[in-house]
A and B are shown apart, each in its own frame.
Chain A
Amino acid sequence: MWDRAERLLQVVRRVAGMPDYAAHVAHLRRCHPERAVPSAREFYEEYVRARYGDGPTRCC
């Protein structure tokens, strides 16, 4: 039940283009174990910078 709700929330987040902190941490642990894991806030700030850093993200 909780699993399914969590997965649904993940879909909603991704559709809206929101960052998935847990997924990023999992990715780091798996593929780049040598790198430091950012805190939730650091990750969010970095994501906002990357997303709105350049180029249009929205249409008319």
Chain B
Amino acid sequence: MLRTIAWLFVGLAGAAGWGVLALHRGETISAAWLILAAVGTYLVAFRFYSRFLASRVFGLNDRRATPAERLANGRDYVPTSRWVLFGHHFAAIAGAGPLVGPVLAAQFGYLPGTIWIVLGVVLAGAVQDFVILFASMRRDGKSLGQMAKEETGPVTGLLAMVAVLAILVILSAVLALVVVNALKDSPWGVFTIACTIPIALLMGYWMKVWRPGRTIEASAVGVTLLMLALVAGRYVATSPTLAPMFTWSGPTLAYAIIAYGFVASVLPVWMLLCPRDYLSTFMKIGTILLLALGILLVLPPLRMPAVTRFIDGTGPIFAGKVFPFAFITIACGAISGFHALVASGTTPKMIMRESDARLIGYGGMLMESFVAVMALCAATLLDPGVYFAINAPLATLGGTPEAAVSVIRAWGFTVTPDQLTRLAAEVGEQTLLGRAGGAPSLAVGMAHILSGAFGQGLVAFWYHFAIMFEALFILTTLDTGTRVGRFMLQELAGHVWAPLGRTSWYPSIIVTSAGTVAAWGYFLVQGVNDPLGGINSLWPLFGISNQLLAAVALCVGTTVLIKGGKARYAWVTLLPLAWVLTVTLTAGCQKVFAADPRLGFLSHAAATAAQVAAGSLDADRGARLIFNDRLDAVAALVFMAVTLLVVAASAREWILVLLRRRPAVATETPFVETAYVG
């Protein structure tokens, strides 16, 4: 009885949050309402919907031994208590995605993003993570690709692998672009990030050679050195001799990151990748907790309107209407196909009891969604004028604060040149104008929150702390992404010429690493040289590819349910699948075919050709831009084609099973009684 009342109260609190968000009129609204609506919804969804999924749909059974118990080897199959594994899984799925997407989508106002992040996660994203975790746990921790192959056939497995490889390329390129836009002409940022390389090498040596396996010690030393580097960055930035050494232009940074990516993926893992991974995990968890605490302490007023005029598709940060583009811009945080790879990787091999999968799979994704809500708060607490000054492309704004202010005024937001100059000086930068990509505006918002909660006057420190924290784990994603891309390329190339498939053969490592880096490096350089800054073309491409991977994962999930004899519950994955397909295919078609050159790749190519013909654009440069547009169009078409093929192959399988032409046989590992008591 008391419980019912408590849950009624939670539900009412969430509803009150939504009510205020929907009906509020006025200049600002407190972030408290947004957080109340989100957390209330999460709690109700976790208590009721995830329980329904766990008991009715999946039939989680604690009498059944998990792979971690049956195959325990102390290394990858390790029974792990559920809160520890929750933390581990969360650290693995949370990255730059949930931080950047909501910041970019804030150009539509705070409401569209909030609705999609919160409703999307409870009905789609968390369901996807949970179903894949469940399926993999019942199959000894098999990967998404292997499950696609076993459930639907070898062709689907191969297509899933191609989809994963393609998204890795786009993901790496766009994340690297976010780093470039945050670090260009910023000696403080470049110095701090450059320091992470020697710090990681030291940690690697410490953990492997000097004091083997003393990972905590090494990480503590690493974090301390990183903080010192952050403080030292200020002196570098103000020193007349050192500052020019670390002031790098966009293209220089891009080539440096490409070179770094290649070296990192060729070096042994223990040297660079593994220590950086630890460093970024600790920084990530620590900073997210700090940010949550800061937001709760400050409860900042949100200055962005609920809905801006840019829902009509004329937004400066990226083109396209609120439908479908809000839903692909925010991928991670609402639903992210990439999570299916983690949920079918290390995590299922560590689950101690089947019922733990509910907290880890569903709950872990709710937590990531909350990170996205915090990022949205950090972006929308800025003055809208400041937000657009940081995020709109330089080509739109003009180079000076005065020019930018007049452009932004024309959009209906007030801001003064003095305000922009003062803000840049406050965070220790020359300028913040035109730093598209989300990281800088998020960092300004975070600096505002953290200095408000933990120490006024440290704005510059917190700003660079936030930049460092984002760049650090983006570069770690880049390292791991390149390695994974290399392994997949080796596997594919092994079919053509067997020696290339040997993962430890050095010539093969060099060739396939170079191939992977060249692929994302090309898109990165294209983005850096794009007159509109690159984010506006690459981020939608990333959103589309990530959501299409989610569609593949949901297809596998549906197949698992139908073959497991749960066809009457297949709607739990079919509904999100239908929504994700609708959104991404609409967005994909618009990006390729729309007549507006700001939106469509092909019409932009045509408009560029017309400019060249009229003599207003250099022919060489024009040819390059046209090639890039066509390449982006082809990439989007390939993503869509691959997904539709997977959907078709899966649907065929479902129908055959439902018509009883094919036996509904689950490929689960047979039941073994657990040895755990109670």
Residues of A within 8 A of B (CB): 9, 11-21, 23-24, 27-28, 31, 39-41, 43-60
Q: How far is the CA of A20 from the CA of B270 in the complex (A)?
A: 16
Cβ B487 vs Cβ A44 within 8 A: no
Knowing that A11-B84, A59-B338 touch, tell me 13 more A-B residue pairs with CB under 8 angstroms.
A14-B84, A17-B92, A20-B78, A40-B212, A44-B207, A44-B208, A48-B270, A52-B480, A56-B338, A57-B480, A59-B97, A59-B342, A60-B336
A60 and B477 within 8 A (CB): yes
B480 nearest CB across to chain A (Å): 5
Query: Which residues of B are interface residues toward A (Cβ below 8 A)?
Result: 72-76, 78, 80, 84-85, 87-88, 91-97, 143, 168, 171, 175, 207-209, 212-213, 215-216, 219, 269-270, 273-274, 277-278, 281-282, 285, 331-332, 336, 338-339, 341-342, 345-346, 476-477, 480-481, 483-484, 487, 503, 546
- Of the candidates A15, A23, A49, the one whose C-beta lies within 8 Å of that of B285 is A15
User: Is there an interface contact between A50 and B88, defined as CB atoms closer than 8 Å?
Assistant: no
Q: Are A59 and B219 in contact (CB under 8 A)?
A: no
Chain A positions within 8 Å of B339 at CB level: 59
B480 touches A23 (CB 8 A): no
CB < 8 Å neighbour of A60 from B85, B143, B171, B270: B171
Contact among A11, A21, A41, A56 with B481 in the assembled complex (CB-CB below 8 Å): A56
Residues of A within 8 A of B97 (CB): 59-60
| CA A49 to CA B282, docked complex, whole Å | 21
A48 CA to B275 CA in the complex, in Å? Answer: 10
Q: Which residues of B contact A41 (CB under 8 A)?
A: 208-209, 212-213
List 6 tightest A-B contacts by C-beta distance, closest first.
A24-B74, A41-B212, A60-B97, A15-B87, A40-B212, A44-B213
In Å, the complex CA distance between A39 and B285 comes to 31
Q: Which residues of A contact B74 (CB under 8 A)?
A: 20, 23-24, 27-28
Chain A's nearest CB lies how many Å from the CB of B150? Answer: 16
A60 and B72 form a contact (CB under 8 A): no
A27 touches B72 (CB 8 A): yes
The reply to whether A50 and B91 form a contact with Cβ atoms under 8 Å apart is no
Contact with B341, one of A9, A53, A55 (Cβ below 8 angstroms): A55
**What's the Cα separation between A42 and B552 when bound, in Å?**
39
User: Judging by beta carbons under 8 Å apart, are A60 and B346 in contact?
Assistant: no
B273 touches A52 (CB 8 A): yes
CB-CB nearest in chain A for B214 = A40
Assembled-state Cα–Cα distance A54/B485 (Å): 10
CA distance A48 to B72 in the complex (A): 17
Q: Smallest CB–CB gap between B45 and chain A, Å?
A: 21
Chain A residues in 8 Å Cβ range of B171: 60
CB-contact partner of B72 in A14, A16, A20, A31, under 8 A:
A31
Kindly state the separation between the CA atoms of A23 and B73 in the bound complex, as whole angstroms. 11
